[in-house]
A and B are shown apart, each in its own frame.
Chain A
Amino acid sequence: GEEVAQTPKHLVRGEGQKAKLYCAPIKGHSYVFWYQQVLKNEFKFLISFQNENVFDETGMPKERFSAKCLPNSPCSLEIQATKLEDSAVYFCASSPYRGTGTDTQYFGPGTRLTVL
């Protein structure tokens, strides 16, 4: 598609429950990025993929967070045993292969996760 799609739009979970978020990048884009925006508006990078391979996972809290980008499937971000501090808007962004000369990241509409 021509836009980054994210589902669901809103997700509510009780503390300790699992949450799974999905992202379909723009068709033809090879890079996918996940960011977390907490209520103070601060953005935190979580993880990036080059196609189905993890490119950079330096921002991932590895104990409870995991992510995948499999061929012919939406990318996913999964949080096991959610905590109150996981409440945030999670953005997915995609970017073309760098060889095209462009490097802009295009963002999806985000998924708002509320942990009660």
Chain B
Amino acid sequence: AQTVTQSQPEMSVQEAETVTLSCTYDTSENNYYLFWYKQPPSRQMILVIRQEAYKQQNATENRFSVNFQKAAKSFSLKISDSQLGDTAMYFCAFRGETGTASKLTFGTGTRLQVTL
């Protein structure tokens, strides 16, 4: 079974600064997908960024980028130029390739607070 670990329950960053959220996972599969979801106080789950394991290039979406280290099974999220609207829970998630592995397995989340 896959597991996803987020070791930072809470993080704080000042506006305009850069912050990195950590995520590690464990799997025996060779091909899979990794995601970061943002959950603001409204509870809506918003996809931030996704990475396919077979792609070596790190995914980027505007101010959000990942550092994907397949051998180390690490998938960290970097938020540049942090904004107050980035304040939210951030969940790392894993999804396998086929069959019952296609469900998302989530980490326990990191609460990010962006301050002035």
A residues neighboring B (CB under 8 Å): 31, 33, 35, 37, 40-43, 45, 48, 55-56, 58-59, 89, 91, 93, 95, 98, 103-107, 109-110, 112
Contacts and interface: CB of A to CB of B under 8 A. Distances in A.
A56 B47 contact: no
Interface of B: 33, 35, 37, 42-47, 50, 89, 91, 95, 99-100, 102-106, 108-109
A104 B103 contact: no
26 contacts: A33-B103, A35-B104, A37-B43, A40-B108, A41-B108, A41-B109, A43-B106, A45-B104, A48-B102, A55-B100, A55-B102, A56-B99, A56-B102, A58-B100, A93-B45, A93-B104, A103-B95, A104-B35, A104-B47, A104-B50, A107-B44, A107-B46, A109-B42, A109-B43, A109-B44, A110-B44
Contacts of B50: 104
B104 A43 contact: yes
A89 B43 contact: yes
Nearest to B44: A109
A18 to B, nearest CB: 23
Contact of A105 (B89, B99, B104): B104
